Structure 1
Amino acid sequence: MTNKQIPAARRQALQAGLSLALLVAATPGLATAPQATTATSAATSAATSAASPKVLRYAFRIAETGFDPARVSDLYSRSVTPHIFEGLYTYDHLARPTQLKPLIATAMPEISDDFKTFVIRIRPGVFFTDDPAFKGKPRELVAEDFVYSFKRFADPANNSSAWSDLAEADVVGLTAYRNELLKSKKPFDYDRPIEGLRALDRYTLQFKLRGTRPRFVYTLAQSDLFGAVPREVVEAHGGTVMEHPVGTGPFVLKQWRRSSLIVLEKNPNYRERYYDAEPAADDAEGQALLARLKGRRLPMVDRVEVAIIEENQPRWLSFLNGQFDLVYQLPEDFINQVMPQGKLAPNLQKLGLQSWRTLNSDVLFTVFNMEDPVVGGYTPEQVALRRAIALGTDVERERTLARRGQAMRAQSFYLPNTTGFDANEHSPASEYDPARAKALLDLYGYKDVDGDGWRERPDGQPLLLEAMTTPDAFQRQIDEIWQKNMAALGIKVRFKVGKWPENYKALRAGKYQLWWLGTSASTPDGLDSLGRHASERIGQNNHARFRNKQLDELFTRASALPDGPERLALLNEAKRIAAAYMPYINRLHRYYTDLAQPQLIGYRRTVFWQNWWEYVDIDESLRAR
């Protein structure tokens, strides 16, 4: 595409705020958005009519891994699965603070006084999308489907990273059976009754937990993981089930080119479900959305096309050119020209673009493999090395230069909008102090013995850090900052470059030394963040493979306590232990700026959930010509 092919009004507005040379030079990268140019041209032609399908288009910045809820763990795959599968509960799309409401369940659960038994009734007349496994017959969702779906997370063959959520809940009989299989290596028997996971009748589900779990309902609200999966489909498709998702949700997967393009279409047999919400009375944006969309049948768009464009520049320019309806998380590279002084640039306002800026419930961290002989371990000198690396990591430089100020310094592993997070906290573990870092290294024997300018380990062996990384230009900025930080301490660094899914596979297997990673909250509770340090979650979300008896005990106690001062004290004690051993360097919480074209109606960034596609509409009359 050339500059002449950009619509005149859009071109004039862009030239007012962007370098035309930059726009033209980067235009070839636009072709990396699969199918987008052809599809957008068709959608914006004179042939557009009321009968034309409404298509939502945007791009992921990182590739997905697949769409089997029991096997996915990355955010991008989990952004797709809740639109195909449905859990028992969901979050009110507009309510702030967050509020749960039934989805497949008919009402909130009946809970015993000790928070150990949960009884849930599900809606009759909900059907899975058609699949050959059903042999041409409609297949109704029943309680037994949830029993089967939850069992899949306990099956060692699935190696589910989400097993930690159920392990913490400790469903009666389920953990014991999993442990039995881990020892015997026998296959999971899905017909074996589990006392704590039962279908009482066709539409009634019962959970019995060994411990008191006041917040178990949050687990049941994660449709991206705990949506119902039909057994026939899993057994029919076997090893290809990651690419063959079948659920009851508002969309169905129509096309998937791995790491390139994901296409979903409206489920033609989706039950009658209508837009409704309960925004706060003083929430002007929420009230306006409710007034505009209340009573509309869901979903409102006919098709969703998601491209995967890892480099920031082509992804951003594709949006500017009108190929995408949304920039989900504006690349930090462009924040100053797009949002000067925190406001949308005048030239972009002329295009009718919409913008939102929110503090995300996430944390960016550096993770050490505690089983690695160089950076792992619990001896004083091994702890000193990790703490020195933390003190020598200039996170503020990453925040201001690479991320253009679009983040706040993390003081602990707890995430914004979750219990345990304190916006006013200051932790010594978050300080940048290279002088103290060097002193620590000297004190514990990490010295330059051979005079080559690089430190050796206390036993005289070379000190070399090998960090996994990804090949994109943005990550290279962060890598360069950190490499210079470590060179200033006399520590040599080597990078191992790989695609994100490859690196994540190595992480799960414990075959790495250190990596940069991020995680987002899936519930309002901070316990999952604490769980990243619990030894029972090694191989799941305890990526550091950290073991500490005292912290394990705090995790167990906090799981059972109701919210309040006693529980908060335990959460605070846990972060002090984590800061002392430093299995992770918690660096930043990101601010996200999302931009949308004028034709995208109803968008609002979610907090703990990913299913928002059914709540938005596309007004083709507002699309730029």
Structure 2
Amino acid sequence: MYLLQLLKLYRRLNSLHNEHNLASLQLQRPWTIIFILFCLISVNTPAHAADPNKVLRISFAAAETGFDPVATSDLYSAYVNASIFESLYTYDYIARPPQLIPQTAKALPHVSADGKTYTIHIKKGIYFQDDPVFQGKKRELTAYDYAYSLKRLLDPQLVSPNAWLLMGKLKGMDQLIATAQKNKHFDYDAPVEGIQTPDRYTLVLKLNHTDYNLPLMLAHTPSVAVAREVIEKYKDGRGVVMAHPVGTGAYRLANWIPGSRIKLTANPDYRGYIWNFKAGNDPIDLKIVAALQGKQMPQIGTVEIQIIEDTQSQWLAFKQKQLDYLDLSSGPMADIAVQEGQLIPELLNEGIYLSKIPLPEMQYAFFNMQDPTVGGITADKIALRRAIWMAFSKDNYNKVIYRGTALINPFPVAASVTGYDEHYKSPLPYSVAAANLLLDRYHYKIRADGYRSLPNGHALTIEYVVIPRGVDQAIAEFWKRSFDKIHIRFKTKTMMFPDYLKAMKLCKVQMSIYNWVADYPDADNFFMLFNGSTKPSELGCSRIHAFDWRYLKTQQLPNGPQRQALYQQMARILDNYAYVTPLVIRSSNVLVQPWIIGYKTHPMTLPYWLYIDIKK
């Protein structure tokens, strides 16, 4: 096709020669002209750095669910979605704590003085990957795509698990949702004050209440842009498109065997970017910058993903050079590879390196505040919960369950996010003796069978919900030993994870543990678990007024001393009522093969293949 175009150009130039006697061009040598024109066209054709011969091979520890950002909420689907689709903002690859940067937006948003209006300008010249639905035309990304995508997130017919990101935030949206629920149809063309597009490249979001964390939510994968034509063409009976993702991102879905294999290939229409992240004084960061600075990205042309759920199989595949990196986290294979925080000599000698950070997650133990045995805010109930926490050794828990690899954390927020307080101290020390004295004081008497009764003389038994997995059973056994020390009868109830989540939300779980992974890197995303201002809190089914009004106040404040002071007060309230206690933050242990250049674990979800390179 290019040759035909060049020949046409040659004929045109030759006619000009005849008309204007352009003898200096020596048009009697057509291949000279063709060569010159080919060079000029090559200069103006976008150069794609992605090399199809650079193949990254990785594994997922659990199966994906699909590739519609509105319908999926699991980590592994998010990795793929963030490769295919693009959000307005993303995170700097190197900066810690995570730093927000523009992706398809031209800059960070302009925020009104009251924090209720966000004006965002979209970059021009960003295109969706080719798809038959576009009928051979280049389809540019616009503000209208983000307006449609954000509305879609709140469409009640789709029942998105991610709707909470924007629920109740945008002006006029509640009325549109109510109408859609009544009519069983969501009108995407209806004007909404909270989502405006004054022109093709401008998006204006108007909020009901001040929210300085909105840009972080616009960096979260569910808020990416999809094309309306694609959704309407390929949607299934539920209204979602799980198997035909079409985005503006660096990769496209080449092959998918659900629950088995995923293959991504570089999107030839992707605009690319120059690797230009800045490092601090960390020697690892400086090494990464030296290796990648100025490169056209992405470099990797193909990503091959296997679903390998068994940790030993993952380990063997990595050892046999079938995987380019492997996330051991705090699993059992971490003991083999990492000892006292360092790689074993065998791996070091092979050139393998370790990328390790605290995960952006928090593990909590909690009681149901609506339960008649352990719930309530009377002095005897608070004393019972405090005594149980005081009889639990977090140091021993870390050593026994996580082999000392986790981070003990008294503050109810992960260490890798904004708002974390490393100096916070819990008022509830580990002391079995003090715990027993506290129970004695509030008349939890030890009966003839060796177990305590309630102050009213009735039997006292705590029921702990356990998920049928190896580590969870070990955790339950550790809890039983702690309860035995204070003479409280302890029993377990086994539930599958989906049933556990349902029971927890219905306030039917008396006691258990819960791991929360941050959706965005701010303390707000953790404290929201305990907010019961509109409904019982997600953890503990609580409604503590002293906590709730402070939480609502923090949402109206930007990051700073005033907001941080409220976070400290909220943490103290959680300790005082003692219905939840933070346990540990697990560590990410990622083993990386020596031919991978620039890998650094990021605390938020990132498809690393956008930022690294491979030695061929």
Q: TM-score, normalised by structure 2?
A: 0.81
Amino acid at match of 1:147: A
Aligned to 2:188: 190
Structure 1 outlier segments of 4+, above 6 Å? 179-182
- Against the structure 1 CA distance between its residues 317 and 128, is the aligned structure 2 distance closer, same or farther, given a 3 Å change threshold? same
- Against the structure 1 CA distance between its residues 460 and 137, is the aligned structure 2 distance closer, same or farther, given a 3 Å change threshold? farther
Aligned to 2:515: 518
CA drift of 1:447 comes to 5.5
- Against the structure 1 CA distance between its residues 313 and 503, is the aligned structure 2 distance closer, same or farther, given a 3 Å change threshold? farther
Q: In structure 2, the residue corresponding to 1:263 is in which secondary structure?
A: strand
Aligned ranges 1:251-262 → 2 under 5 Å: 251-258=251-258, 260-262=259-261
Amino acid at match of 1:410: N
Find the aligned partners of 2:499 and 2:597 in 1 and give their Cα distance: 36
CA drift of 1:448 comes to 6.5
Q: In structure 1, the residue corresponding to 2:306 is in which secondary structure?
A: strand
- Against the structure 1 CA distance between its residues 122 and 554, is the aligned structure 2 distance closer, same or farther, given a 3 Å change threshold? same
Find the aligned partners of 1:512 and 1:594 in 2 and give their Cα distance: 34
Amino acid at match of 2:206: K
CA drift of 1:427 comes to 0.4
Amino acid at match of 2:165: D
Amino acid at match of 2:517: S
Find the aligned partners of 1:501 and 1:553 in 2 and give their Cα distance: 31
Find the aligned partners of 2:594 and 2:568 in 1 and give their Cα distance: 44
- Against the structure 1 CA distance between its residues 185 and 512, is the aligned structure 2 distance closer, same or farther, given a 3 Å change threshold? farther
CA drift of 1:445 comes to 6.1
Q: In structure 1, the residue corresponding to 2:215 is in which secondary structure?
A: helix
Q: In structure 2, the residue corresponding to 1:317 is in which secondary structure?
A: helix
Find the aligned partners of 1:290 and 1:394 in 2 and give their Cα distance: 42
Aligned ranges 1:39-50 → 2 under 5 Å: none
CA drift of 1:491 comes to 2.4
Q: Quick check: 1:358–1:593 contact (8 Å CA) kept in 2?
A: yes
Q: Quick check: 2:52–2:301 contact (8 Å CA) kept in 1?
A: no
Find the aligned partners of 1:537 and 1:278 in 2 and give their Cα distance: 41
Amino acid at match of 2:219: A
CA drift of 1:108 comes to 2.4
Aligned to 1:580: 576
Identify the match of residue 492 of structure 2 among 491, 494, 516.
494
Identify the match of residue 433 of structure 1 among 424, 431, 434.
431
Aligned to 2:11: none
Aligned ranges 1:416-431 → 2 under 5 Å: 416-429=415-428, 431=429
- Against the structure 1 CA distance between its residues 389 and 270, is the aligned structure 2 distance closer, same or farther, given a 3 Å change threshold? farther
Aligned to 2:30: none
Q: Does 1:535 align with 2:529?
A: no
Amino acid at match of 1:573: Q
Find the aligned partners of 1:136 and 1:381 in 2 and give their Cα distance: 72
CA drift of 1:262 comes to 4.4
Q: Does 1:68 align with 2:68?
A: yes
Find the aligned partners of 1:502 and 1:231 in 2 and give their Cα distance: 35
Q: In structure 2, the residue corresponding to 1:82 is in which secondary structure?
A: helix
Size of the alignment, in residue pairs? 563
Aligned to 1:7: none
Q: Quick check: 1:173–1:194 contact (8 Å CA) kept in 2?
A: yes
Q: Quick check: 1:70–1:152 contact (8 Å CA) kept in 2?
A: yes
CA drift of 1:383 comes to 4.0
Q: In structure 2, the residue corresponding to 1:575 is in which secondary structure?
A: helix
Q: In structure 1, the residue corresponding to 2:104 is in which secondary structure?
A: coil
Q: In structure 1, the residue corresponding to 2:397 is in which secondary structure?
A: helix
Residues 446-498 of structure 1 deviation map (CA, whole Å, 9 limit, x = unaligned): 56668485757958366241413142x33333232223323444322224142
Q: Quick check: 1:367–1:514 contact (8 Å CA) kept in 2?
A: yes
Q: In structure 2, the residue corresponding to 1:306 is in which secondary structure?
A: strand
Aligned to 1:171: 170
Aligned to 1:200: 198
- Against the structure 1 CA distance between its residues 175 and 315, is the aligned structure 2 distance closer, same or farther, given a 3 Å change threshold? same
Aligned ranges 1:363-512 → 2 under 5 Å: 363-429=362-428, 431-441=429-439, 451=449, 453=451, 460=458, 463-471=461-469, 473-488=470-485, 489-498=487-496, 500=497, 503-504=500-501, 507=504, 512=509
Aligned to 1:284: 283
Amino acid at match of 2:466: M
Aligned to 2:564: 568
Q: In structure 1, the residue corresponding to 2:530 is in which secondary structure?
A: coil
Find the aligned partners of 2:555 and 2:87 in 1 and give their Cα distance: 22
Find the aligned partners of 2:160 and 2:507 in 1 and give their Cα distance: 15
CA drift of 1:76 comes to 3.6
* Structure ID, larger Rg: 2
Amino acid at match of 1:534: N
CA drift of 1:162 comes to 3.6
Find the aligned partners of 1:68 and 1:549 in 2 and give their Cα distance: 38
- Against the structure 1 CA distance between its residues 178 and 116, is the aligned structure 2 distance closer, same or farther, given a 3 Å change threshold? same
Find the aligned partners of 2:61 and 2:463 in 1 and give their Cα distance: 27
Aligned to 1:596: 592
Amino acid at match of 2:311: N
Q: Quick check: 1:398–1:481 contact (8 Å CA) kept in 2?
A: yes
Q: Quick check: 2:466–2:472 contact (8 Å CA) kept in 1?
A: no
Residues 544-584 of structure 1 deviation map (CA, whole Å, 9 limit, x = unaligned): 33322222211221111233322221111111122223343
Aligned to 2:322: 323
Amino acid at match of 1:570: L
CA drift of 1:311 comes to 4.1
Find the aligned partners of 1:60 and 1:474 in 2 and give their Cα distance: 19
Q: In structure 1, the residue corresponding to 2:205 is in which secondary structure?
A: strand
Q: Quick check: 1:454–1:492 contact (8 Å CA) kept in 2?
A: no
Structure 1: runs of 5 or more not aligned? 1-49, 621-625
Q: Quick check: 1:330–1:595 contact (8 Å CA) kept in 2?
A: no
- Against the structure 1 CA distance between its residues 147 and 537, is the aligned structure 2 distance closer, same or farther, given a 3 Å change threshold? farther
Amino acid at match of 1:581: Y
Find the aligned partners of 1:134 and 1:502 in 2 and give their Cα distance: 43
CA drift of 1:216 comes to 2.7
Aligned to 1:95: 95
Find the aligned partners of 1:511 and 1:232 in 2 and give their Cα distance: 43
- Against the structure 1 CA distance between its residues 133 and 479, is the aligned structure 2 distance closer, same or farther, given a 3 Å change threshold? farther
Find the aligned partners of 1:269 and 1:513 in 2 and give their Cα distance: 53
Find the aligned partners of 2:282 and 2:464 in 1 and give their Cα distance: 48
Q: In structure 2, the residue corresponding to 1:304 is in which secondary structure?
A: strand
Q: Does 1:221 align with 2:219?
A: yes
Identify the match of residue 207 of structure 2 among 205, 209, 214.
209
Q: Quick check: 2:275–2:297 contact (8 Å CA) kept in 1?
A: no
Find the aligned partners of 1:332 and 1:62 in 2 and give their Cα distance: 14
- Against the structure 1 CA distance between its residues 542 and 264, is the aligned structure 2 distance closer, same or farther, given a 3 Å change threshold? farther
Residues 372-404 of structure 1 deviation map (CA, whole Å, 9 limit, x = unaligned): 555544454544444343233332222112211
Aligned to 1:248: 248
Amino acid at match of 2:516: T
CA drift of 1:596 comes to 0.7
Q: Quick check: 2:277–2:293 contact (8 Å CA) kept in 1?
A: no
Percent identity, aligned pairs only, is 33
Q: Does 1:546 align with 2:542?
A: yes
Q: Quick check: 1:214–1:562 contact (8 Å CA) kept in 2?
A: yes
Q: Quick check: 1:397–1:481 contact (8 Å CA) kept in 2?
A: no
Residues 314-370 of structure 1 deviation map (CA, whole Å, 9 limit, x = unaligned): 333332232221122444434454333433222111111011222333211124444
Q: Quick check: 1:263–1:303 contact (8 Å CA) kept in 2?
A: no
Q: Quick check: 2:341–2:405 contact (8 Å CA) kept in 1?
A: no
Find the aligned partners of 1:308 and 1:502 in 2 and give their Cα distance: 24
CA drift of 1:411 comes to 0.7
- Against the structure 1 CA distance between its residues 245 and 481, is the aligned structure 2 distance closer, same or farther, given a 3 Å change threshold? farther
Aligned to 1:58: 58
- Against the structure 1 CA distance between its residues 92 and 586, is the aligned structure 2 distance closer, same or farther, given a 3 Å change threshold? same
Amino acid at match of 1:197: I
Q: Quick check: 2:354–2:589 contact (8 Å CA) kept in 1?
A: yes
Q: In structure 1, the residue corresponding to 2:297 is in which secondary structure?
A: coil
Name whichever of 351-360 and 232-241 sits farther off: 232-241
Find the aligned partners of 2:503 and 2:306 in 1 and give their Cα distance: 25
CA drift of 1:121 comes to 1.5
Supply the RMSD in Å over aligned alpha carbons: 3.3
Find the aligned partners of 2:565 and 2:521 in 1 and give their Cα distance: 17
